[in-house]
Chains A and B, each alone.
Chain A
């Protein structure tokens, strides 16, 4: 039998090819460039690549193609999410590039292999070694995310999921300060992640058993044609969802979130919190809408339960947190619940509202973690909320910016978070889930409590001797922080351009 070479739409794949090739070049730089120039080369390479890929995404944004067999769908929502991921990765990359905040180097361990507290580690710190392997990891993670939102096939989706996750597991364990906490976080993330991947794979196998295919198109066709016997289908969907719920951090698959958010280096936490949410929700929606649109009534209930649990558990537990990173972790769980309200609407309006929410949430989150990386005391970042008391009097500007992020996360008008929540809730109501929206509003009110509490603490408490100081960052963090703050406000005041772009993108293609 003659083998026919595959026909790939190289133009449509170009952004991902650029990122993938750059990631490999980045590994080669690690292998061959002398240590003194590695950081410089990597920074040039990474940011050129990400910006280049972003330009390609913008140029490609008119395309609506299925390529790589049927396994990759590059449609309007895919381009929007790829673009968002790239912008967020650039901002997150800027945070990772920051080298002026920690007196002994960047946010990463000088050598992740050195035992915490060992002589080796001390020597590497003194010698100013930097673990520049974080840059290839960043690029690989971005590649995985871009592929994840575009995968139109369970196998493709699984591989993309792993390509995205594996570098993140590694990055989570490389914090410079509090190494053991960081390593524990990485191990937890890895083990639980592997566990959830196994569920995803099992689910994919069952879906294959049901439909005889793992591509979304044939699955959806099988659902419409094979009425009746759908036990395999339902168990399969449930298992696939377990895998994806883990990635978005929805209750009851959220246990890793607080530990990982707290243990990972703050720039990585910011980058990961923002981009993984986009990627995972993108994949979740494509899976549910394109492949399983025909059995919407069956998976809706599951999403309702998870959404309600996420919103309530996230909001309520966040109140009792004393660590700002853990608080934001629980906040992200609650936010996942809010976004699920839009997902469960299963309408073009819902899709658009979720996309907007993800954009607004991404910028806000990166900005918030940028602020956290700046508020420091002698032992590193001052993540204890108590140390933030009176920050508004010591560093009014940073406190004001952080307040904007908190307000946006709480969904207060004139911020991006408000428009996002509004859109999601409106879509929910339009889809007839008014009662779910009511729960969501209640959860929002609970959540607002702890967001506002931080603001109150910063402004209405007097500085104590323990109050942390704000370090003046270099250009990298400044740009990232400024972009985050500006976009958060801009999305709240003039959201229309973004809403138009999303409206023009249309829906997932089949």
Chain B
């Protein structure tokens, strides 16, 4: 894995075609799939395959960092948000601007062709130095990177700190909901719940006296009356509470006669 070979090498060729193909498939899948989560998974696939290609190209540090940072953290957070928000159904596919999808496709293909032809033609003419030579010049891949980052590009490296601080503060500014009343502590909350006449525990469930277990059927209390507390609030608000069959009540009264009281 460490030994990079600049001339033809069977293993590397296989790795290239397999991982390159999978990366392209992932990229295509990402834009084609309708489910946001599937898109995220496809892009994760692309990233992992790119990482393998980096490693195969004698850039192990880059490959690993790519997986840890992008696949492991960034895409994971994407997935996290997608799952929390539940963006499950595909977006509306109505075009707001007429013909933009076609135009976009056309321009995209055009750009792709331009780049493919341009880069392709350039590759046939330009020579290469060799990965091993490039890495060994600094005494290893990691050492070479360190040399670049902490010497030539030390200012750029530190400037990224400004970027990260801005991003962190910006995220706080845009997303952190400040409170304008002091936060209630747990004892305060529970005292409040008890004092203001709230129901202290669980609401009664349909229970043993209920004749149905549908949510709109109120529980029967031992005296045969119904407990509206057992029906969810929204249903009560809509007056969607099922009536109790008096025959059922009588039957229960009959059954429980002498058992209680």
Q: Do chains A and B touch in the complex (CB under 8 A)?
A: yes
List which A1-45 residues lie within 8 A (CB) of chain B. 1, 3-6, 8, 13, 20, 23-24, 27, 30
List which A99-151 residues lie within 8 A (CB) of chain B. 111-114, 120, 123-124, 127, 129, 131, 133, 136-137, 140, 143-144, 147
- Given contacts A137-B169, A231-B121, are A156 and B114 in contact (CB under 8 A)? no
- Which of B176-184, B200-208, B215-223, B233-241 lies at the interface? B176-184
Contact call A30/B118, Cβ cutoff below 8 A: no
Contact call B162/A4, Cβ cutoff below 8 A: no
User: What 0/1 pattern do residues 133 to 168 of B give for CB contact below 8 A with A?
Assistant: 000001100010011001111111011101101110
Q: Does B174 contact A (CB under 8 A)?
A: yes
Contact call A137/B166, Cβ cutoff below 8 A: yes
Contact call A155/B156, Cβ cutoff below 8 A: yes
Please give the distance in Å from A64's CB to the nearest CB on chain B: 18
- With most chain A CB atoms within 10 A of its CB, the pick from B139, B143, B155, B163 is B155
**Interfacial chain B residues near A173, Cβ < 8 Å:** 174
- Given contacts A170-B170, A209-B119, are A8 and B165 in contact (CB under 8 A)? no
The number of chain A residues with a CB under 8 A from chain B is 57
List which A152-195 residues lie within 8 A (CB) of chain B. 153, 155-156, 159-160, 162-163, 166-167, 169-170, 173-174
Q: Does B90 contact A (CB under 8 A)?
A: no
- Given contacts A111-B178, A112-B173, are A69 and B152 in contact (CB under 8 A)? yes
Kindly state the separation between the CA atoms of A5 and B151 in the bound complex, as whole angstroms. Answer: 7
Contact call A159/B154, Cβ cutoff below 8 A: no
Question: Number of residue pairs across A and B with beta carbons under 8 Å?
Answer: 134
Please give the distance in Å from A187's CB to the nearest CB on chain B: 11
* Residue from A5, A23, A167, A206 in contact with B119 in the complex, judged by beta carbons closer than 8 Å: A206
Kindly state the separation between the CA atoms of A131 and B177 in the bound complex, as whole angstroms. Answer: 12
Contact call A159/B122, Cβ cutoff below 8 A: no
* Residue from B152, B155, B175 in contact with A13 in the complex, judged by beta carbons closer than 8 Å: B155
- Given contacts A133-B173, A235-B114, are A166 and B119 in contact (CB under 8 A)? no
- With most chain A CB atoms within 10 A of its CB, the pick from B139, B146, B165, B172 is B165
**Interfacial chain A residues near B167, Cβ < 8 Å:** 166
Kindly state the separation between the CA atoms of A231 and B126 in the bound complex, as whole angstroms. Answer: 11
- With most chain A CB atoms within 10 A of its CB, the pick from B114, B119, B159, B175 is B159
- Determine the main DSSP class of A at the interface with B: helix
Contact call B162/A144, Cβ cutoff below 8 A: yes
- Given contacts A68-B154, A71-B156, are A140 and B166 in contact (CB under 8 A)? yes
Contact call A112/B163, Cβ cutoff below 8 A: no
Q: Does B100 contact A (CB under 8 A)?
A: no
Contact call B119/A113, Cβ cutoff below 8 A: no
Q: How large is the interface on B (under 10, 10 to 19, 20 to 34, 35 or more residues)?
A: 35 or more
Nearest chain-B residue to A13 (Cβ)?
B155
Nearest chain-B residue to A24 (Cβ)?
B165
Contact call B166/A167, Cβ cutoff below 8 A: yes
**Interfacial chain A residues near B139, Cβ < 8 Å:** 1
- Given contacts A1-B139, A159-B160, are A71 and B155 in contact (CB under 8 A)? yes
Q: Does A503 contact B (CB under 8 A)?
A: no
Contact call A170/B125, Cβ cutoff below 8 A: no
Q: Does A79 contact B (CB under 8 A)?
A: no
- Given contacts A69-B152, A113-B173, are A163 and B180 in contact (CB under 8 A)? no
Q: Does A210 contact B (CB under 8 A)?
A: yes
- With most chain B CB atoms within 10 A of its CB, the pick from A114, A163, A209 is A163
Q: Does A72 contact B (CB under 8 A)?
A: yes
Which A positions have Cβ atoms within 8 angstroms of B?
Answer: 1, 3-6, 8, 13, 20, 23-24, 27, 30, 67-72, 111-114, 120, 123-124, 127, 129, 131, 133, 136-137, 140, 143-144, 147, 153, 155-156, 159-160, 162-163, 166-167, 169-170, 173-174, 206, 209-210, 212, 229, 231-232, 234-235
Q: 9 A–B contact pairs at CB < 8 A?
A: A1-B143, A6-B151, A69-B151, A69-B152, A131-B173, A166-B167, A206-B119, A231-B119, A235-B118
